[in-house]
Structure 1
Amino acid sequence: MSTWAAILTVILTVAAMELTAYSVHRWIMHGPLGWGWHKSHHDEDHDHALEKNDLYGVIFAVISIVLFAIGAMGSDLAWWLAVGVTCYGLIYYFLHDGLVHGRWPFRYVPKRGYLRRVYQAHRMHHAVHGRENCVSFGFIWAPSVDSLKAELKRSGALLKDREGADRNT
């Protein structure tokens, strides 16, 4: 496989992984099938150590490992798909686990730009208790904060959830 084909494969795989992650997050993790694991991420207090929800990352890591193994047996395409899945996993870890949920040894809250938008969008995802009426299911792509606020307002989810302070910062 040429260098440009490999680079294109990695980029397209990262994009496909964002669509896959959105779909899995929206319809499996927040659905009746996957909520058992994902609930640990939303509704249970934790010390930012491992949680059941991290098993989803293990599943994607296994997929990547299998693709690397197939690639090592001679499939260039499988190898570069594995690189793309791994790159997405690293981006996910940086944005979701590190930046948004503070699973780093330090805390950083971005003040502006793309990282601020991703941070706010995912915080708004957690503004609602439970699996219903959540917004912003992607991890790399983040809708505008204004559109997410409007969606939450339309659903009435924040009104139902206002036992404490508004958590959609």
Structure 2
Amino acid sequence: MSMLTNTAIVLGTFVTMELVAWAVHKYVLHGFLWSIHESHHKPHNHVFELNDLSFCFYGVIAALCFIYGSETFDYRFWIGVGISMYGAAYFLVHDLLIHRRVKIFRKASNTYLRALDIAHKVHHKTKGKDGSESFGMLWVHPKFFHIARRKR
């Protein structure tokens, strides 16, 4: 496969992961796996939460893609790269920037990052599994951009 095809597979997988993560978050984690995800919605003072286990699912899929696609570097390998890149973005954006699990970032002044932070805070406003909104990680509803611009 060409470099262009491989790049398209990686980028397509990354974008698809946002859709998959949104659906899993809304219908699985706020559904029948709420008992695991609930730890993410409760205040705590420890680094890890039971919810962190839910992302092992994506890690296993990426690992399988690497294992079965690495001999010939076929599409499975590049799908594994896309899933892994999304996982790295998730860790950077969600865990470090938004939740500040490790205090290395200050509060963002960029409108997009502020809108993302506001959307996430709105998601966490509801403590139960029902009634939340904004389930994605990187896509932000336009209404949160309007709020972020007003709070400047």
TM value normalised by structure 2: 0.89
Output one character per residue of 1:63-106: Cα deviation in whole Å (capped at 9) or x when no partner: 11111001123251000000000000011111111111111233
> 2: CA distance between counterparts of 1:147 and 1:105?
25
State percent identity of aligned pairs: 35
> 2: CA distance between counterparts of 1:148 and 1:56?
32
Aligned length: 147
Query: What are structure 1's unaligned runs of at least 5 residues?
Result: 150-169
SS at match of 1:126: helix
**What displacement does 1:14 show?**
0.5
1:85-96 equivalence runs, <5 A: 85-96=83-94
Greater shift in the superposed pair: 7-16 or 110-119 = 110-119
Contact 2:28–2:34 (Cα < 8 Å) also in 1: yes
Between Structure 1 and Structure 2, the one with more helix by share is 2
> 1: CA distance between counterparts of 2:46 and 2:89?
18
Aligned-residue Cα RMSD (Å) equals: 1.8
1:39-58 equivalence runs, <5 A: 39-43=38-42, 45-58=43-56
Amino acid in structure 1 at the alignment position of 2:45: D
With a CA cutoff of 8 Å and minimum separation of 6, indicate the structure with the bigger relative contact order.
Answer: 2
Query: What are structure 2's unaligned runs of at least 5 residues?
Result: 148-152
